[in-house]
Amino acid sequence: MASVEQTTAGCTDSATTIAVENPATGEQITTVPVLSAADLEAMAGRARAAQPGWEELGFDGRARVLRRAQKWMLDNPDRVIDIVVSETGKTHEDAQLADFGYTMTALGFWAKEAAGYLADERLPSWNNPLAAGKKLTIRYAPVGLIGVIGPWNYPIANSFGDCIPALAAGNSVILKPSEVTPLSSLLMAEMMRECGLPEYVFQVATGDGATGAALIEQVDCVMFTGSTKTGRAVMRAAAEKLVPCYLELGGKDPMIVCADANLDRAANAAAFYSMNNAGQVCISIERCYVESPIYDEFVRKVTDNVLKLRQGAPQGVGTVEVGAVIFPPQLEIVADHVRDAVEKGAKVLTGGHSRPGPGRFYEPTVLVDVDHSMKCMQEETFGPTLPIMRVADADEAVRLANDSEYGLQASVWTGDVKRGEAIARRLQAGSVCVNDAQMNYAALNLPMGGWKASGMGTRHGANGIRKYTKVQSLLITRYALKREPFMFPYRPGRTLALRRMLKLLYGRRSGD
């Protein structure tokens, strides 16, 4: 069981608690405190006091702590996976792939790459006549205190995962996990303490939405992952504070299957990437468009795959493929989307119901005869459902894929990768995979972020760490005249000589 000492240390104002339950069994695991605005203020004070020492350790010193944490995870896989499974009801495999595998990899990645991404950059000055000969440098300085607010679907990967580059850059971090999955974050705090992270550089603030709002009041930069609705509120609050804010929000990821696709791979992938983590993945395949010639066979193969999936409370590794619905209200959203589709003429090929308790489950569901009047094709379902639509050709698929307020990810499946890339470039999404899905998230050097209502900014890659820094531009004059020609006093001769010089430099090139 994760300790809550880190959270409650010195916090005296916590009036209420939240019960943490196992969604697969309905059993209560423990309770955690709801931290107040006063608690957050105190935590921020401690975090700010601790930050300069952490920054002074330098990249190598910080990398050593991150590598120790990577080793800690490798030595404690069951501890990490079991706590995620206990508070999400997901399968051990879902917890292993992302919460454990991704996070463990990310600790090593940022330990290795932070110094390179944040190294000083020298810029040429010869192409700026007035700055010629000066030394121009970009420096990336840590922002100070970062507030990370996370969702419940991947309580480590999507919460602590975003803290790692923030820490590697030399910041202090306060993480506010979802109220339904706080224990995994508390375990990460325990891990970082054991690995030698200086006290208060990383703290976890358990609580509800109000705790998240209070955190924004205290920090210099906000990294938020969650729904588009809450993302808008977070951005409004950050605007009031005038602090930078990065948003990773919802998605309605389309899958386009062309007639020349490897049908078995596409069908296996459709079943997996729509149902893994019980469909509670921001980059889940949420809708599928299939070219007419292969539609019937594709639907048959996907349905066969989905029919074989085992669902229930995980009893260990390899026992079920589809776990629980983590967040109580989500069950009704999924049911509502299926109900709405059926009322408007869709057919359920398999699934289509929630299962009676104990625990919260929705059956893996395949829908056909769907169209864009239905919620299941327009709104984020975030559950184990796959609506499949027949299209005449890839052009129609592209038009329908882009007919969405979201633009997080998309995938194209074809035997012709050149054509696949051409289709990918027409899709309005922050990331597009050809003959793959979701695996771009594992490519930590590749930026990941949403277009349209799916977000602002990116995680991973250079910007995934530079966003946690303040850019400082340095101009150093080494060889100095007593007086620059444009300085006081102004004289007609010098003014006109400068004008002639600018004409000489640009006269022949400009105005084409």
CB 251 to ligand NDP: min, Å: 6
- Does residue 234 bind ligand NDP (CB under 6 A)? yes
**CB closer to ligand NDP, 237 vs 313:** 237
Q: Does 226 bind ligand NDP (CB under 6 A)?
A: yes
d(CA 208, CA 144): 24
* Phi, psi (rounded to 5 degrees) for 172: -90, 155
Pick out residues in 108-167 that bind ligand NDP (CB under 6 A).
149-153, 158
Q: How many helices (H) and strands (E) does the chain have?
A: 18, 22
Backbone phi and psi for residue 491, each to the nearest 5 degrees, phi listed first: -130, 140
Decide if residue 282 touches ligand NDP (CB under 6 A).
yes
> Which one of 115-123, 188-196, 246-254, 297-305 is the stretch in contact with ligand NDP (CB under 6 A)?
246-254
Task: List the one residue from 117, 202, 273, 327 that touches ligand NDP (CB under 6 A).
Answer: 327
Measured CA angle at 462 (ends 457, 463), to 5 deg: 20
Tell me the closest approach of the beta carbon of residue 327 to ligand NDP, in angstroms: 6
Burial environment of residue 511 by CB neighbours within 10 A (0 to 12, 13 to 18, 19 or more): exposed
Binding mask 417-456 for ligand NDP (x = CB under 6 A): ---------------------------------x----x-
* Candidate ranges 36-44, 55-63, 100-108, 227-235; the one touching ligand NDP (CB under 6 A): 227-235
Asked whether the beta carbons of 367 and 346 are under 8 A apart, the reply is yes
Total of residues contacting ligand NDP (CB under 6 A): 31
248 is catalytic: yes
Whole-angstrom CA distances from 312 to 329, 359, 467 are 19, 8, 40
Active site residue 297: no
Decide: is 457 part of the binding site for ligand NDP (CB under 6 A): no
Rounded to 5°, angle at Cα 154 from 10 and 254: 145
| Residue 186 CA from chain centroid, whole number | 19
**For residues 68 and 459, which CB has a smaller minimum distance to ligand NDP in the complex?**
459
Distance CA 360, CA 165 (A): 34
If one asks whether residue 253 binds ligand NDP (CB under 6 A), the answer comes out as no
Is 179 a binder of ligand NDP (CB under 6 A)?
yes
Identified catalytic residue from 282, 288, 376, 433: 282
- From the candidates 55, 87, 93, 248, give the one annotated as an active-site residue: 248
3 state SS of 223: strand
Q: What is d(CA 195, CA 193) in angstroms, rounded to the nearest whole number?
A: 5
- Cβ-proximal residue to ligand NDP, closest one: 212
Between 173 and 266, name the residue whose CB sits nearer to ligand NDP: 173
380, 410, 413, 434: residue in contact with ligand NDP (rule CB under 6 A): 380
What is the three-state SS of 440-506?
A: HHHCCCCCECCEECCEECCECCCHHHHCCEEEEEEEECCCCCCCCCCCCCCCHHHHHHHHHHHHHHH
What Rg do the C-alpha atoms of the chain give, in angstroms? Answer: 26
272, two tokens? 């997996």
Q: Which of residues 293-312 bind ligand NDP (CB under 6 A)?
A: none
Residues 462-501, interacting with ligand NDP (CB under 6 A): none
Catalytic positions are: 248, 282
Site of interaction with ligand NDP (CB under 6 A): 149-153, 158, 176, 178-179, 208-209, 212-213, 216, 225-227, 230, 233-234, 248-251, 282, 327, 380, 382, 408, 450, 455
